Structure 1
Amino acid sequence: MAGIYIHIPFCRQACHYCNFHFSTSRGLENEFLNSLLAEIPLQQGFLAGETVETVYFGGGTPSLLDAESLNMILRALRENFSIHPNAEFTLEANPDDINRVSLQSWKDAGINRLSIGIQSFYEEDLRWMNRAHTATQAIDNLKLALEFFPNITIDLIYGSPGLTDEKWASNVQRVIEMGIPHISCYALTVEPKTALESMIRTHKREPVVPEDQARQFIQLMEWLKAAGYDHYEISNFALPGKRSKHNSAYWEGKKYLGLGPSAHSYDGANRQWNIANNALYIQALKNGTVPFEQETLTPVQRLNEYIMTSLRTMEGMSLEIVKRLSDASTASQLRKFSERLIREGLMNEVDDHLILTQQGKLFADGIAADLFRDEPE
């Protein structure tokens, strides 16, 4: 089974913290759509005929698409790929794009899961982030969305200046009380070349405090565990049976095809990524070519990717899979190295799996980097 990701590179306005590829000018939207529809058949062979079990519209802001455009894309996917009859179709949506008409049109098109970018239920936080929606829209339109889509995930951001522990608790408690089945939570990251980075550097915004982020992450883990959510990946929590199939495929190393500018793809051995420029993407597709770069992963790179992604999950890193990707000696070395992490309370070994503890999850990236293997000389 495989997945397809479609990148819609347009937004109504730019969030201060965002470093994804997008444009707030929608002048090229029609040409982009034609180019995307041209790319789909050109990429038909990438998944080698595997059945597609997840389709994910990300961005940018996919909820800006009109109903006709969305249907055209989905029709082209179904014509060129084998789509599982029970496939998960996810659409990222901003609260300000949600109304009864849009919800019904998405449902009619075949979307069966929404990912809603709430980020906060507090007006001052949304203004601070430069989000396009209001707190009232976040609350009211999330309730409305639940009438149409029982399978919903929302995004929340923690660790931002001004987000007190009390406000953070209120945000999470609201999600629990509403019965949202899936929640993705991210520490505010100050990415280079973003408006937020510039404002912090010029002292127009307060800097992020790592200690506050760590504390609020620990609080989050405790609150959602008590509410019955599985912490199945570092940033993702789900009620039983409500995990994201699409994102889980990334962490499990399954094949996926990325369509649209800046979209990434993986076929099990190679990674490729489309050019992150709307005009150049459109021009290349007019000439009948997909503008991408590609790299072939070495066995060590594939192992290191497995180490990184598996440690982010609640199942952890399987030493048996390490043996298959490398050899028994490498698995033994990783187990030996992990003894110190186990003594320090950062990791447990359960049934031949190395699993990060709650404290270890605070240092997941660093721990993974310490476990990475070097390329042979």
Structure 2
Amino acid sequence: MSGIYIHIPFCKQACHYCDFHFSTSMKKKDEMVLALAKEIELRKNEFQDEVVETIYFGGGTPSILEVSDIKLLINAVYENYKVVENPEITVEANPDDLISKVLSSRAQSRDFYQEYISLGINRLSIGIQSFFEDDLKMMNRAHNSEEAKECLKIATQYFDNITVDLIYGIPNLSNEKWLQNIEIALSFNIPHISSYALTVEPKTALHKFIKNGIIPQPDDEVAQEQFHILVDKLEQNGFIHYELSNFGKENYFSKNNSSYWLGKKYLGIGPSAHSYNGISRSWNVSNNTIYRKSIAENKLPSESEILTLTDRYNEYVMTGLRTIWGISLDRIENQFGKIYLDYLNQQTTKYIDDHLLFVDENIIRTTKKGKFLSDGIASDLFLLNLE
């Protein structure tokens, strides 16, 4: 097994662009943490022969939890699974949470970050999104610009393995301002950056605001320009663009996320979390109350599907094309067969001719020009189910 993902379904407030599963009510937080620990135990037989390499706290907002909550969940993993020595343990965090916990721990003569480190947490993923006040207000982020900078100033004194999230393609975000965002992040010597174009998801506040003309529609051409600004700036500063939205310095790639893209097995704990065992995919119900009730009855609140050979081919094409590892033509032929190989070669011809894809040592990768378009290209390489 590559790792365990633990979904913490709570947030202080709802960001306008977010469609992940979460609740802004913390009333049942303690019960939820116990349910998460119990699901970890209930599912140990599914992966008893696997070894856990990474533990990832995502959400939602894991930094909302108390240190004792995270300790309970990490202990549950160690008690029920084989874990490698020094696994990568990541906690997603918001700047305002980190600042408030540092201040609270100081008032109690404790060191919040040392407590994190004592649990084996060795990587922080901090949701900055932007260092500018107007962007943060438009997205309804819970932190402000000063908190973004202050939390990085403090966190980098304790952790060297930190990644920050930044969003581009925001309405009214100029290229100059976007470049400033990148430069501010670089000033903290962060070794990893995840960056995404702002997407308008249905049923979000952002979708409603755009529909009502309150916020302008994001411009795809501007987003593409800002993507290339990002790529150029980070590569100039020693970052490797190893996945469409992820940039890391050498030895600082996300082991957790890389395992997804490389098709390793993973276990998803918590409401809405997904799991993959190499053959099938399962997902938990996206409802906190139903999730807790099912776990209390020793039932897993999940559904699953068996992935067909074509499903697995399509997923490999999608993930491979997004990464520096590309799509291995040898693997396509050996794992999926000649029909799939012939189809892939046929479909890629036009993209190679347009200098969006290239083949090197029997591996298909995107060119610099094709990187931003990789998801669209991949969908054109998909095959309808033959089964």
TM range (shorter): over 0.9
Name the counterpart of 2:175.
165
Count how many residue pairs are aligned between Structure 1 and Structure 2.
377
> How far 1:193 moved relative to its partner?
0.2
Per-residue deviation at 1:323?
1.3
Are residue 248 (structure 1) and residue 258 (structure 2) matched? Answer: yes
Give the counterpart of 1:189 among 182, 190, 199. 199
Q: Is the 1:11–1:64 Cα contact (8 Å) retained in structure 2?
A: yes
2:143 corresponds in structure 1 to 133
Q: CA deviation at 1:339?
A: 2.2
Cα deviation, residue 128, structure 1: 0.8
2:6: which partner in 1? 6
* Residue of structure 2 in register with 1:95 after alignment: 95
TM value normalised by structure 2: 0.95
Q: 2:195 and 2:51 mapped to 1: Cα distance?
A: 30
- Contact 1:46–1:257 (CA<8 Å) still a contact in 2? no
- Give, in angstroms, the shift of residue 35 of structure 1: 1.1
Partner secondary structure for residue 223 of structure 2: helix
Bigger mean CA deviation after superposition, 88-97 or 172-181: 172-181
Q: Deviations over 1:173-198 (max 9, x none)?
A: 12223211000000000000001001
Matched, 1:308 2:313: no
Residue in structure 2 matched with residue 350 of structure 1 by the alignment: 360
Matched letter for residue 70 of structure 1 = I
Q: SS at 2:157's partner residue?
A: helix
- Measured after TM superposition, the shift of residue 324 of structure 1 is 2.3
Q: Give the SS at the match of 1:168.
A: helix
CA distance, structure 2, for counterparts of residue 349 and residue 219 of structure 1: 25
Match of 1:80 in 2: 80
2:20 match? 20
Match of 1:203 in 2: 213
Deviation track 1:99-148 (CA, whole Å, cap 9, x = no partner) reads 44432221121100000000001111111110001100100111110111
SS of 1:315's equivalent in the other structure is coil
Shift of 1:47: 2.1
Contact 1:302–1:325 (Cα < 8 Å) also in 2: no
Contact 1:345 1:357 (8 Å CA) reproduced: yes
Deviations, residues 75-107 of structure 1 (Å, cap 9, x unaligned): 111000111112100000100111444322211
SS at match of 1:273: strand
Alignment partners' CA distance in 2, 1:52 and 1:194:
35
Say whether 1:270 aligns with 2:269: no
3-state SS in 2 of match to 1:173: helix
Corresponding residue SS for 1:178: coil
2:230 matched to 1:215? no
Following the alignment from structure 1 to structure 2, what is the Cα–Cα distance between the partners of residues 124 and 107?
Answer: 34
Q: Secondary structure at the match of 1:116?
A: strand
Matched, 1:334 2:344: yes
CA contact (8 A) 1:47 1:255 kept: no
| Distance of 1:107 and 1:214 partners within structure 2 | 38
- Work out the CA distance in 2 between the residues paired with 1:325 and 1:189: 34
Equivalent position to 1:105, from 108, 115, 126? 115
Confirm or deny that 1:61 pairs with 2:61.
yes
SS across alignment from 2:271: coil
1:43 pairs with 2:43: yes
CA distance in 1, matches of 2:354, 2:169: 25
C-alpha separation in 2, matches of 1:364 and 1:261: 30
| Deviation of the 1:233 alpha carbon | 0.2
Q: Does 1:287 align with 2:297?
A: yes
The residue type paired with residue 121 of structure 2 is: I
Identify which range, 100-109 or 141-150, moves more after superposition: 100-109
**Distance in 1 between the 2:363 and 2:354 partners?**
17
Q: Is the 8 A contact 2:152 2:188 kept in 1?
A: no
Q: Unpaired runs of 5+ in structure 1? A: none
SS in structure 1 of the partner of residue 44 of structure 2: coil
In the TM superposition, what whole-angstrom CA distance separates every residue of 1:43-93 from its partner, at most 9, and x where no partner exists?
A: 102224211000100000000110111111111110001111121000001
Percent identity, please.
Answer: 47
Contact 2:9 2:23 (C-alpha < 8 Å) held by counterparts: yes
